[in-house]
Structure 1
Amino acid sequence: MTPPRLEFGGTPGVVAIVLLSHLAAFYVLLCVCAHGGALFLPTSPNALLADLRAHATPTPATVAAYLGFLATQAVLAMTLPGAIVLGLPIETEPFDVVYEAPLRLEYRCNALAGWWVTLVALGALVYFRGDAPLLWIADNWGRLMTTAIVVADIASVVAYVSATIYDWFTGAELNPRVFSGRLDLKMWSEIRVSWVTLFVLTLAAAAKAGFNSSSMLLLTAHWLYANACQKGEESVPFTLDIFHEKWGWMLIFWNLAGVPFLYSANAFFIAHASAAADAAWGDDVTDVYEPLSILASLSVLFVLLVAYYVWDTAQSQRTRFRMQRQGTYVPRGALAFPSLPWGMLTDPTFIETRVGSPLLTSGWIGRANKIHYTADFIMATCWALSCGVTPWFRALPWTYPTFFGFMIAHRAGRDERRCAEKYGEDWTRYREIVPHRFVPGWF
């Protein structure tokens, strides 16, 4: 019997990824908070520890705030109304004894309701308290990040105290649910925690930066991304993260800590650079931060919106096609905006396969199989470009698109191997019809 394929280089690889992920998080934090956004080499262990104590040591207030936020999002996920969507048949689970068919889990898709409740609550907080709560979040970004990392690490260890190191990283449970099945931990962490946290952090950084052109551009980008994840939640049960990936350190760490805190580094780069520039105003300083001009902001915004349109509609086309074929499609409500044209294919073409799952050959996916990854990478680049003139002289704002490019290329390779193994000759036939992966007609 052929042993299962180990991704990420097996146990040595995942150990290296875990260590590097922690080191990268704190290094990025210190670049932003202690070194003006510049890359640096620690001068001494004492200096490094002093910076970490100053910027990354959790406090009772940051622990209470973060745990309170997680609890609030969990309560919203369990109590708010939402459409019930059936996931894909889970062949690894026991058969449903009533229908004698593979089990299909139900997902209560109420993230959109939770998103708007969160936005209204934020608006009310700012209305009654001013920008003080946002500035507190901005000033405690590093302490909140450390809190999130500790929570993520503890959660992964508690979930897998008896697992091997590799299983601890990749996960041993596919569909973790708590509170009598009312809270799906993967859906909750991926949709309601990671992207909502990112938007809140970016909003706080924009307040600290004084809502200048660069911070507002990045805030708009992150709102679009977070909002898209909430309004498209009914499509998430059909993604690889929910259907295939197990609940392990990889998903826990990146959803609770990596995505929101590392992806918000550019926003805090703008905030700290803006504060430094204000402090240096009037001095003879040659490397003072300069936000994007209105014209430059509009140019980046245009590219961002085009990429967002392709990303949103490509994801919508493929997941709605799958849901329609299975009879599980649920129309989005009025709050699910922007509702973009060509988000659903009216007469899609596809290949029937011997395993039963059709392969879509029309729409954006029919032009390039991973075009949504390309659009995602372009948006990541726009996030870097949002950081003003300084990014051309600082490497930090480019760490996210660089990391994302490597990560998404690796994921695309994993997807390709899985599809080739699953579909066999049908996948070869599909690749003949859709030969390009990232850029239509070229690559």
Structure 2
Amino acid sequence: MKTKIMKPPEWYDVIRYHIVPPVFMVVFTGAVQYLALVGQGEINITWRLAASKALGNSFSWGCVALFSLWAILWLQLPAGQVHGPPTLFGYRPPYQDNGVLYYWASLVGFFTMQAMWPDLSSAIFSNMPELLGTLNLVALTLCTLLLLKGKLKPEHRDDRYPTRPVLYEFYTGLERHPHILGMDVKQLTNCRIGMMAWQLLILAFYLAGVQRHGFSAATLVNLLLQSVYVAKFFWWEAGYFSTLDIILDRAGYYICWGCLVWVPCLYTFSSYYLVAHPPIISTTTALLIAILGLFTILLNYRVDYEKQLFRRAPDGKCNLWGKPARFIEAQYKDSSGNVRTSKLLLSGFWGSARHLNYTFELLASLAWCLPGFGLGVWPFLYFNFLACLLVHRTFRDEEKCAVKYGHNWGRYCQKVPFRLIPHVF
């Protein structure tokens, strides 16, 4: 029995290829500057005020240059390598395997600079609109270079898809695994700059808040939960290279601008907002939030660990929840027409819901936003965005899997009928 793949209606292609990319790029690029001012407590926000910060200043350009060079250095240093899963055309992308060392070295470097310049964190907070303006310009320049590179000198011609409108190509990118100066672009933007900027910025915002208002258990919980999450990411970085961000998404505005600008802006926003708007919850409430958050982060890690354990096991032979792992062998054809096989896991958490990792990630993000409870909707902006993003990603991922695996994907969905919440959705 073959799965019939329905061609989307013409109006859908018009929206997808011609409307969404320019609208999203204008809205999100502009929203960054607006949010930077909202977080600082600005009331009378005008386009002129936002535009005045968009080109950055000497402080912002110095910080971005120094941090970028630091990240690039760690991708050039001698280190072990790990490989991502093979692409449809047989390429196995290599990655530097020094993420944990990079993470701790970056923290040591930050605290050293903070000790030398005690006002550093407050300066980072005060110059956040300029920092985001600088990152915007750098990211848009990089995306332009990636578009030109993908058109003029692609590394893997088998990886190209049919020509689309140029704004759509700029938005999605053209290549999945491009390299610049010998570095994997997505490891640089997603991991070494985006994720590490998340960690360093929330540290700076916490210290800036302490300098303004004194110690707060709520802001400490906000910092610690995010720090555990980011530290877990670097400890698990090799596993990240097997996620859909890496194996399916191409390097363009959506991924590269998102990691260079949107992550430092939105993902840190709950911490950023609490600097100018100190939390009002009690210490006891903060402690309960910490327990909830740590538990959900642990569950999120466990889900990812089960998938990684299964992938590394020869022929999928491993135990999950005390029983041999069950799976469906799904065949598909690569770009050369060769038949390949993937294993779709049916055991452990992956037998409860097809994207339970997204559910626990949402709960973790809610936990570190909760210290801002009682301060309006702004501290929960990241959680609301992430909920929309992950629900959209769930359907997008499943559409791609249905095309790739055909009727075997239907078999898998019958065995694991729920997407995010067992017995609910």
* TM-score class, shorter: 0.7 to 0.9
The 8 Å contact of residues 28 and 396 in structure 1, kept in 2 or not, is answered as: no
Partner of 1:58: 56
> Kindly tell me: are residues 344 and 221 of structure 1, through their superposed partners in 2, closer, same or farther at Cα, counting changes over 3 Å?
farther
Partner of 2:422: 440
- Report Cα offsets for 1:384-414 as digits up to 9, x if no partner: 2122432xxx221122111111111110001
Superposition map of 1:128-167 within 5 A: 128-129=115-116, 131-161=118-148, 164-167=166-169
Distance 2:50 2:354 in 1: 45
CA deviation after TM superposition for structure 1 residue 345, in Å: 8.2
The 8 Å contact of residues 313 and 343 in structure 1, kept in 2 or not, is answered as: no
- TM-score, normalization: structure 2? 0.85
The 8 Å contact of residues 131 and 207 in structure 1, kept in 2 or not, is answered as: no
SS in 2 for 1:173: coil
Superposition map of 1:161-310 within 5 A: 161=148, 164-179=166-181, 181=182, 183-210=183-210, 211-274=215-278, 290-310=279-299
Distance 2:201 2:41 in 1: 18
Specify every segment of 5 or more residues in structure 2 that has no aligned partner in the other structure, as ranges: 1-5, 152-164, 333-340
Distance 2:223 2:369 in 1: 12
CA deviation after TM superposition for structure 1 residue 344, in Å: 9.6
* 1:77 and 2:75 matched: yes
- TM-score, normalization: structure 1? 0.82
Length, aligned pairs only: 390
The 8 Å contact of residues 214 and 270 in structure 1, kept in 2 or not, is answered as: no
Specify every segment of 5 or more residues in structure 1 that has no aligned partner in the other structure, as ranges: 93-101, 275-289, 328-341
CA deviation after TM superposition for structure 1 residue 31, in Å: 1.6
The 8 Å contact of residues 57 and 142 in structure 1, kept in 2 or not, is answered as: no
SS in 2 for 1:351: strand
The 8 Å contact of residues 170 and 250 in structure 1, kept in 2 or not, is answered as: yes
> Kindly tell me: are residues 30 and 7 of structure 1, through their superposed partners in 2, closer, same or farther at Cα, counting changes over 3 Å?
farther
- Report Cα offsets for 1:22-68 as digits up to 9, x if no partner: 122122122222437xxx8x5xxxx4413653x65511221121121
Q: Which of residues 87, 91, 100 is equivalent to 1:90?
A: 87
Give the CA RMSD over aligned residues.
2.6
* 1:317 and 2:315 matched: no
Q: Which of residues 13, 29, 36 is equivalent to 1:29?
A: 36
> Kindly tell me: are residues 411 and 103 of structure 1, through their superposed partners in 2, closer, same or farther at Cα, counting changes over 3 Å?
same
Distance 1:105 1:346 in 2: 33
- Report Cα offsets for 1:253-297 as digits up to 9, x if no partner: 1110101222112112110113xxxxxxxxxxxxxxx43211110
Q: What is the identity, as a one-letter code, of the residue corresponding to 1:244?
A: L
Mean CA deviation greater in 115-124 or 63-72: 115-124
Partner of 1:414: 396
CA deviation after TM superposition for structure 1 residue 158, in Å: 2.1
Partner of 1:397: 379
Distance 2:406 2:390 in 1: 23
Distance 2:265 2:298 in 1: 25
